[in-house]
């Protein structure tokens, strides 16, 4: 029998696996809440309320819901856009509703099951009070946008204007008259939503405005007159007018911006959720601890800076002049950083924390300033002629 001494007596090695962190919120998931009943009980969907089906193909929606369903028609409109939610790594999520369910109640319950960045409805036409209640509910939720449509121009002075006056920018209003029915407006809205929630925020030069975009499969809205367009500019509703002259007419989205522009709301949702995930993962994935020192704060700020740098890469944020009277940190540094890189980050020095905050192990306040890259959506031209 041979005796030996384990090498562990000299060198002991242990392996530490990295802690699991949160994944990014999928801001391009689009939810449809419907009072229709699926054809089948598949592995993707059940008829029980709020047990959703998750889809990345209109063929799967067809199999579950049938060609006559509005869910399938909306899905076809969503997936037909180029780019679509798939280009932003999103999915279509279909939630069956009970006949007596209200949108304001089911939307927050649905978020508990799966996160989605946009929501529509199918299979019924809610009255204005239900839409307004849902709009108020969505305004209190983080990162969710309600896509609300109408085929009636009177909506500009009705619930569209009520939403704008309440500055409920997370409800996106869309007027589509030409079909003459709520269904036609909802299908046009589905195409709009499918095109809107399509940005891959991890890419370069990927953010976009909806203004001037073509909606595949949607008939240009010849019902949008100059007076209706003017009213939509006041109410904040986007429209899809027939634009052109002579033998050429095109449908193009006209973004009015009175209730803010869609891309401002959408891009900021991505930024906020990304900062939250970056901060959470930095606090929880460290194997020892994040010290309550300037070194620890530098690590935390570094996580936020990575997100801000990506915001510049995807052109949500860009260098520019800081023209706000709100200043913090070192004002000269703020103005210089905004001018040079488009963002500025500052945290209160650790040694200036209150004892209560230090005892509670809170990080000093982190403040961030950004400059929107914006978008050019119109142009004036002056031609000077000399003979």
Segments forming the whole domain that contains residue 320: 286-370
Please tell me whether residues 196 and 338 are part of one structural domain: no
Give pLDDT tens digits for 47-80.
565 689 999 999 999 999 999 999 999 999 999 9
Q: How confident is the model at residue 86 (pLDDT cuts 50, 70, 90)?
A: very high
Please tell me whether residues 238 and 339 are part of one structural domain: no
Helical axes 70-79 vs 58-65, angle rounded to 10°: 180
pLDDT for 1 equals 64
The answer on pLDDT for 109 being more than 80 is: yes
Average pLDDT rounded to a whole number, residues 85-96 = 96
Give how many domains the chain has, as a whole number.
2
Q: How confident is the model at residue 286 (pLDDT cuts 50, 70, 90)?
A: confident
Please tell me whether residues 210 and 345 are part of one structural domain: no
Average of per-residue pLDDT values in the chain: 93
Residue 41 lies in a domain: yes
How many angstroms separate the Cα of 84 from the Cα of each of 24, 64, 111, 300?
Answer: 19, 21, 22, 34
pLDDT for 343 equals 98
Please tell me whether residues 219 and 347 are part of one structural domain: no
- Dihedral sign computed on CA atoms, order 163, 165, 170, 172: positive
Strand locations in the chain, DSSP E? 30-34, 53-55, 92-96, 118-122, 145-150, 171-175, 238-239, 242-245, 248-251, 343-347, 366-370
How many angstroms separate the Cα of 266 from the Cα of each of 20, 127, 154, 355?
Answer: 27, 26, 27, 38
How many angstroms separate the Cα of 254 from the Cα of each of 192, 213, 311, 374?
Answer: 11, 8, 25, 16
Q: How confident is the model at residue 43 (pLDDT cuts 50, 70, 90)?
A: low
Residue 22 lies in a domain: no
Q: How confident is the model at residue 125 (pLDDT cuts 50, 70, 90)?
A: very high
Residue 206 lies in a domain: yes
Average pLDDT rounded to a whole number, residues 305-333 = 97
CB atoms within 10 A of CB 10: 7
In angstroms, rounded to a whole number, what is the distance separating the alpha carbons of residues 140 and 270?
16
Which of 364, 363, 367 is closest to 344 using CA atoms? 367
Please tell me whether residues 69 and 191 are part of one structural domain: yes
Average pLDDT rounded to a whole number, residues 154-180 = 97
In angstroms, rounded to a whole number, what is the distance separating the alpha carbons of residues 295 and 273?
25
In angstroms, rounded to a whole number, what is the distance separating the alpha carbons of residues 346 and 364?
10
The answer on pLDDT for 41 being more than 70 is: no
Residue 256 lies in a domain: yes
Residue 20 lies in a domain: no
Average pLDDT rounded to a whole number, residues 330-334 = 97
Which of 365, 332, 326 is closest to 349 using CA atoms? 365
Helical axes 128-139 vs 103-113, angle rounded to 10°: 40
Please tell me whether residues 307 and 254 are part of one structural domain: no
Please tell me whether residues 305 and 257 are part of one structural domain: no
Please tell me whether residues 163 and 252 are part of one structural domain: yes
Please tell me whether residues 292 and 227 are part of one structural domain: no
pLDDT for 242 equals 92
The answer on pLDDT for 323 being more than 80 is: yes
pLDDT for 20 equals 74
pLDDT for 10 equals 79
pLDDT for 232 equals 97
Please tell me whether residues 180 and 290 are part of one structural domain: no
C-alpha count within 13 angstroms, C-beta hemisphere, residue 50: 14
Phi, psi of 340 (to 5 degrees): -90, -40
pLDDT for 21 equals 80
Residue 267 lies in a domain: no
pLDDT for 49 equals 59
Please tell me whether residues 300 and 237 are part of one structural domain: no
Give pLDDT tens digits for 191-238.
999 999 999 999 999 999 999 999 999 999 999 999 999 999 999 999
Give the end of a domain, one of 246, 261, 276.
Answer: 261
Residue 269 lies in a domain: no
Q: Where do runs of H (alpha helix) occur along 237-324?
A: 262-284, 294-313
Q: How confident is the model at residue 115 (pLDDT cuts 50, 70, 90)?
A: very high
Please tell me whether residues 219 and 136 are part of one structural domain: yes
Which strands form 30-34's sheet, in the order they lie side by side? 53-55, 92-96, 30-34, 118-122, 145-150, 171-175, 238-239
Asked whether the beta carbons of 253 and 271 are under 8 A apart, the reply is: no
Give pLDDT tens digits for 241-274.
999 876 677 889 999 999 999 999 999 999 999 9
């Amino acid at each position: 029998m041979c005796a030996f001494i384990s090498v562990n007596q000299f060198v002991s090695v242990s392996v530490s696996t990295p802690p699991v962190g949160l994944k990014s919120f999928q801001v391009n998931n689009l939810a449809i809440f419907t009072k229709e009943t699926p054809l089948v009980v598949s592995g993707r969907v059940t008829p029980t309320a709020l047990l959703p089906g998750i889809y990345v193909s209109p063929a799967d929606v067809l199999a579950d819901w049938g060609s006559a369903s509005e869910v399938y028609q909306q899905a076809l409109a969503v997936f037909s856009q180029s780019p679509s939610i798939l280009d932003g790594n999103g999915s279509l999520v279909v939630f069956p509703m009970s006949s007596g369910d209200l949108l304001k109640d089911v939307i927050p319950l649905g978020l508990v099951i799966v996160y989605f960045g946009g929501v529509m409805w199918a299979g019924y036409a809610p009255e204005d009070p239900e839409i307004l209640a849902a709009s108020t509910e969505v305004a209190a939720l983080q990162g969710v946008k309600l896509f609300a449509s109408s085929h009636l121009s009177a909506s500009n002075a009705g619930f569209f204007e009520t939403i704008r006056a309440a500055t409920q920018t997370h409800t996106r209003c869309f007027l589509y008259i030409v079909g003459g029915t709520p269904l036609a407006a909802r299908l046009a809205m589905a195409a709009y939503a499918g095109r809107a929630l399509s940005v891959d925020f991890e890419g370069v030069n990927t953010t976009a405005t909806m203004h001037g975009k073509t909606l595949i499969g949607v008939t240009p809205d010849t019902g949008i007159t100059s007076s209706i367009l003017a009213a939509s500019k006041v109410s904040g509703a986007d429209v899809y007018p027939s634009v052109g002259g002579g033998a050429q007419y095109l449908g193009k989205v006209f973004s009015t911006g009175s209730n803010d522009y869609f891309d401002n709301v959408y891009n900021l949702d991505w930024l906020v959720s990304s900062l939250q995930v970056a901060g959470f993962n930095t606090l929880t994935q460290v194997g020892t601890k994040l010290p309550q020192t300037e070194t620890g704060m530098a690590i935390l700020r570094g996580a936020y800076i990575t997100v801000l740098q990506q915001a510049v890469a995807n052109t949500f944020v860009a260098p520019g002049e800081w023209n706000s009277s709100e200043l913090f940190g070192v004002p000269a540094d703020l103005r210089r950083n905004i001018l040079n890189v488009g963002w500025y980050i500052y945290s209160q020095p650790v040694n200036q924390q209150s004892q209560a905050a230090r005892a509670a192990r809170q990080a000093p306040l982190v403040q961030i300033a950004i400059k929107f890259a914006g978008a050019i959506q119109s142009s004036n031209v002056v031609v000077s002629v000399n003979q």
